[in-house]
Chain A
Amino acid sequence: MTSKPDRGLVEFNSEECKGCGLCVEACPPKVLRLSEQLNHYGYHTAEYLGAGCTGCGICFFACPEPGGIAVLRREVAA
């Protein structure tokens, strides 16, 4: 059991994703993958494995679509 919660969270807009896979390549902790499922347009869109995101935001910059990815960070208690 992990003692520390994940620092970040990544959200995909599967309607914008074209399945290029650059975010999967870019992700430092390797917590992204291309889905087995196809989206409405026929792309295997990227998805989050569900754990391990650090909130670094690299995937956001690597993604060519304006709103394909949003990254969140856990608020640190003061």
Chain B
Amino acid sequence: MGSFTLTHERPDCFYDRFERKSELQHQTHYCPGCGHGIVHKLLAEAIDGLGVQDRTILVSPVGCSVFGYYYFDVGNVQAAHGRAPAVATALKRSLPDKIVVAYQGDGDLGAIGTAEIVHAANRGEAITVIFVNNGIYGMTGGQMAPTTPLGKKTATTPFGRDALNEGYPLHICELLASLEAPVFLERVGLGNNKQIMGAAKVLRKAMENQVKGLGFSLVEVLSPCPTIWKMDPVEAQRFVREEMAAVFGIGNYRDRTATATPRPARPAPPKLEELPGILGLGNGDRDRLPCGETSAVDYRIRVAGFGGQGVLMLGEVLAEAGLDAGYHVSWLPSYGPEMRSGTSNCHVRLSSRPIDSPLVSQPNVLLALNEPSLHKFLPGVEPGGIVLYNGDAIPEGCGRGDVRMVALPFTRIADQIGVSKAANIVILGALLEATDLVENEQATAALHKLVKSPKWFDIDVQAMERGREEMRKTTMPVSDDYLWGV
């Protein structure tokens, strides 16, 4: 008989048993004749051949191949639908010595994840992407994919894919080949022996590129899906060979591996203690983090008006001053797309305790810079809260007996100091006079930080003082009864 030696056997980088469930641990979950099984084997052979099993990280997608991590005995991460290139980017950048492989199907890469793949390729991330294109959604039951050939009937194109209605099949390799950064782009098929052996070679090259540190490599694999195309495996192979390959040309679309040089290592990121300096915050800021020694307060402030009134700015000053005062703070702007006019409001919280949510739906401070804002937000104000309204008097029908309401013509007061745009800071002054929210110095320091121009800073300081004066003149009582605890 003579002796034989094993030349082709189960690749080492598969787990011995697939512990996805308690039974059938010796076989994959793929349908008979599925291209994923073949791509898995070719990839496993490449990993074994290059000897990189111990430093490979596979990013599994959403789709039929979601369980890649049950099969490959490598580092495994499973990404949200379409996001494998983004996850792979993070992995590769933080662990540059690892071989990071994003494995995706055409629904994942070519539909929901189109943006991720285009930008990862455009950045030239030094990852390897394996793009398994079977021309249809498999796992979800045969819906049209962006890669479905024209005329093909699917669950969602019962009359056949029509270019006028569903567009044309998306050619990912050609699309990415229009970008400057990718190093290697090639489309292969699993349509016959020659194609499969070609695919094995190309997959290995795409992996090798990363081992050499060259840059972005993508292999698109035209792959059979017998179950969903309702064909037997051999017929599905013919479909790949004759019909898929007629739409998606097999071949190389980019090969700069001969001239590409290894991507240089990225500079180390700055140290944590360097960040305040880089962000221009000054070194003292770290000492003023909330220390928990302030008395229990929870200011929930809503500032509202029209865009351009300085609504967001007023909120920012309050939050900044609150930070200075040792509170936990949050500032959440809410505005339309308009830069001026339109409505604008923000949620601000100053609290002696950690803030659970930055949303303020029941404010205890409402700063209404125009009438619509008063109408809109007054009903939500907590009993005992304070409302400052920018007007001569509270509009009829707007009164509430259980909150403190102050109407002052803040814009006109600002006009008197020559700058109507400073009305927001006049309101700030009035609010500080009416409450013990923050100290004057803290508000001034916040203005100093946020208002870059010395001219405007002087105007704002003046505006704040006028706000205080006007508030003192109101006949409304200033009483601790209106202060609210937690």
Contact = CB atoms under 8 A, between A and B. Distances in A.
Given A15-B26, A58-B197, A66 B41 contact: yes
B193 A28 contact: yes
A28 B196 CA distance: 14
A60 B196 contact: no
A16 B26 contact: yes
Interface residues of B, number: 41
Contacts of B232: 21
Given A22-B33, A28-B193, A62-B196, A71 B7 contact: yes
A20 interface: yes
A8 to B, nearest CB: 8
Interface string B153-197: 000000000000000000000000000000000000000110011
A75 B28 contact: no
Nearest to B24: A41
B37 A75 contact: no
Contacts of A60: 8-9, 41
B4 A16 contact: no
Contact of A21 (B33, B38, B41): B33
A5 B30 contact: no
A20 B32 contact: yes
A43 interface: yes
B105 to A, nearest CB: 15
Contacts of B27: 15-16, 18, 65
A72 interface: yes
Interface residues of A, number: 34
Contacts of A25: 233-234, 237
B193 A73 contact: no
B193 A58 contact: yes
B40 interface: yes
B14 interface: yes
B193 A26 contact: yes
A29 interface: no
Contact of A19 (B5, B24, B32): B32
Contacts of A31: none
Interface in A1-49: 5, 8-9, 13, 15-16, 18-22, 25-26, 28, 41, 43
A65 B234 CA distance: 16
Given A15-B27, A22-B237, A25-B237, A66 B4 contact: no
A67 B40 CA distance: 12
Contacts of B234: 21-22, 25
B9 A9 contact: no
Nearest to B15: A66
A71 B10 CA distance: 10
B441 to A, nearest CB: 71
B7 A67 contact: no
A19 B34 CA distance: 12
Contacts of A20: 32-33, 226, 233
Contacts of B3: 74-75
B10 A70 contact: yes
B35 interface: yes
Interface in B1-33: 1-11, 14, 24, 26-28, 30-33
A9 B26 contact: no
A63 B396 CA distance: 81
A52 interface: no
Nearest to B45: A61
B337 to A, nearest CB: 51
B302 interface: no
A46 to B, nearest CB: 11
Interface in B75-100: none
B378 interface: no
Nearest to A62: B196
A10 B30 CA distance: 23
16 contacts: A13-B26, A20-B32, A22-B33, A25-B237, A60-B41, A61-B41, A61-B42, A61-B196, A62-B193, A63-B38, A64-B38, A65-B27, A65-B28, A66-B28, A71-B8, A72-B5
Of all A-B residue pairs in the complex, the 10 with the closest CB atoms, nearest first, are A64-B37, A67-B10, A20-B33, A20-B32, A60-B8, A72-B4, A18-B32, A71-B8, A20-B233, A57-B8
Interface of A: 5, 8-9, 13, 15-16, 18-22, 25-26, 28, 41, 43, 55, 57-58, 60-67, 69-75
Given A16-B26, A70-B9, A75-B4, 4 more contacts: A22-B237, A63-B38, A64-B41, A66-B44
